[in-house]
A = this chain, B = another copy of it.
Amino acid sequence: MKLYGYYLSSAAFRVRIALNLKGLAHEDAPVHLLRGGGEQFVPEFAALNPQNLVPVLLDAGRPLTQSLAIIEYLDETHPQPPLLPTAPEARARVRGLALAVACDIHPLNNLRVLRYLKRDLEIGDDERDGWYRHWIALGLAAIEQLLDGDEATGTFCHGEAPTLADICLVPQIFNAKRYDCDLEPYPTVMRVFDACMTLDAFAAARPESQPDAPD
């Protein structure tokens, strides 16, 4: 398998964690999102993904896009260890937590959006950072409530093994730390984050450990 990603992309980070949890080797194909106007816009990459977004996974067939679709694919083609629980209601809980990050925090804070705020709406850096922190704080406050006091929450977001929910949560916390967000209001979130980071699958997927990360 070949993974087109970028060390700082939290969507690519998700896929790296999933591959690691499954014990699947992959070749890295770094796409530098900032260099030369952005390598995601070169025709070779746009042919793989007209959305000009990472990650893209090449397995046997067509290029696979969208981190959550890729991870569900990996879970279906390599079922062990499972990244979703078995019961439909539990699966809905895990997917709901994952989507609370993937739909309601991350899309508001990715590179193209921050660029639009700065270039097209001429928002200053302080206001842009305030925007970034606003959506993280709103999202994490809700996730804290969804985790805290729900008996389905265990060492991880759902029970005693990492799931798709943890895979989405951890890269979001890395982003939050990069923007100096106050994480003290989210003790359950941070307890889960710390538990995840003791696992090699998560630790090895971190941005600074990727081949395209600066020295």
Measured CB to CB, the residues of A under 8 A from B are: 49-53, 59-62, 64-66, 68-70, 72-73, 76-77, 88-89, 91-93, 95-96, 98-100, 102-104, 106-108, 113, 116-117, 120-121, 123, 127, 130-131, 134, 139, 141-142, 145-146
Contact = CB atoms under 8 A, between A and B. Distances in A.
Contacts of A131: 116, 120-121
Given A50-B142, A73-B89, A89-B73, A68 B99 contact: yes
Copies of this chain, tallied across the complex: 2
29 contacts: A49-B142, A50-B146, A51-B104, A51-B139, A60-B89, A62-B93, A64-B89, A65-B96, A66-B96, A66-B103, A68-B95, A69-B91, A69-B93, A69-B95, A69-B99, A72-B92, A72-B95, A73-B88, A73-B89, A76-B88, A99-B102, A102-B103, A103-B107, A107-B107, A108-B113, A120-B127, A120-B130, A121-B121, A121-B131
